[in-house]
Amino acid sequence: MASYINSAIDYSKSTLAFFAGLYNNAVTGKYHYDPESIPNLEGKVFVITGGLRGIGLHVTTFLTSKGAKVYSLSRNAAHSRAAIDSIHEQHPGAKIEYVSIDFNDLSTVGPAAKQLLAQEPEIHGVIHNAGIFPEKDTPDDVVFRVNVLGPHLLQKYLDNVLIATAKKHPNQTDQFRIVWVSSFVQFISLKHGGIDFDNLLKGTPLTSYERLAPMASYTHAKVANIYDSIQWIKHHPDSGVLSVSLHPGAVRTELNPVGSPATKLIEKVGHDPVYGAYTELYALLSSEITSAQNGAHIVPFGRMGTIRADIERAANGPEGERLWNYIEDQIKDF
């Protein structure tokens, strides 16, 4: 009975949070973080995946305009180099390095990370911004690999340098961060705790309903990003690095599949990608985020939000450790 009551309470809270989030993200256009307040970032080095499209392009532009050096990791070299040229036209001194990586091919992650680390003795922050929203025929394992396994593996390669940088600058407390880009879809996961472990471990489809399959696999991956943000802290105590997740906002980006119902809605009520950049910049740089908020979830467009209650409990408990171990096992050969 107690378990039933707790589930009912969680469901009620999730429903209220869903509609509150829908209003905040789709109806209002306010932003709560002003990028003009970004301090001088000379000497800072940031790593951004998918950094030269949509939200990531704006984040990279803001950071480099303040003097930071940005390593942009993505798989489309031609597009990335064209975007870099465009940024240089606006900011001739912008420091941007492109590194080729493809999260759907985990064998590319190690070489990309090693190329980056060979050039940089320090890293001050990482934004795991890249991801895919599946088409109806995109396999679940591809969605999970690109959105979860790839970012986790990359972070594993970057951990030592990021943590060493934080230890080297103890006067810059709370300024070193990992940002895991999740989504508002955490609130529509049909699984208690957000992760369908039974089917994940079996490698079977996350839903038997064909029309819901893309959303099910995407929701599953974005909840996993929240788990990762929380479990990273547990596996790296006293690191001097903050780990947070976020929902960037309902913005018009190339991530949304052409012609899907979600895309059609976002085209009508979604915001310009620059607003999503405000959310990510807040998570990466805001002084409002301290060690007391380690593991926080940031929402549009630059403010503290909430994680669905049952997902937050699961991510902090045995389920979180279970997912972490599963991911570690999947990437151990790379």
Which positions are annotated as active-site residues? 182, 218, 222
Q: For residues 292 and 296, what is the distance between their CA atoms, to the nearest angstrom? A: 9
Structure tokens of 77? 């070299």
What is the side-by-side strand order in the sheet with 297-299? 95-100, 69-74, 45-49, 125-128, 177-181, 242-246, 297-299, 303-304
- Phi, psi dihedral angles at 280 (to 5 degrees): -65, -40
In this structure, are residues 150 and 103 in contact, taking their beta carbons and an 8 Å threshold?
yes
Helix residue ranges per DSSP H, 103-206:
109-119, 140-144, 150-168, 197-202
Considering Cα of 200, then 205, then 208, then 209, what sign does the dihedral take? positive
- Phi, psi dihedral angles at 225 (to 5 degrees): -60, -35
In this structure, are residues 73 and 48 in contact, taking their beta carbons and an 8 Å threshold?
yes
Q: 67-101: buried (b, 16+ CB within 10 Å) or exposed (e) per residue? A: bbbbbbbbbeeeebeebbeebeeeeeebebbbbeb
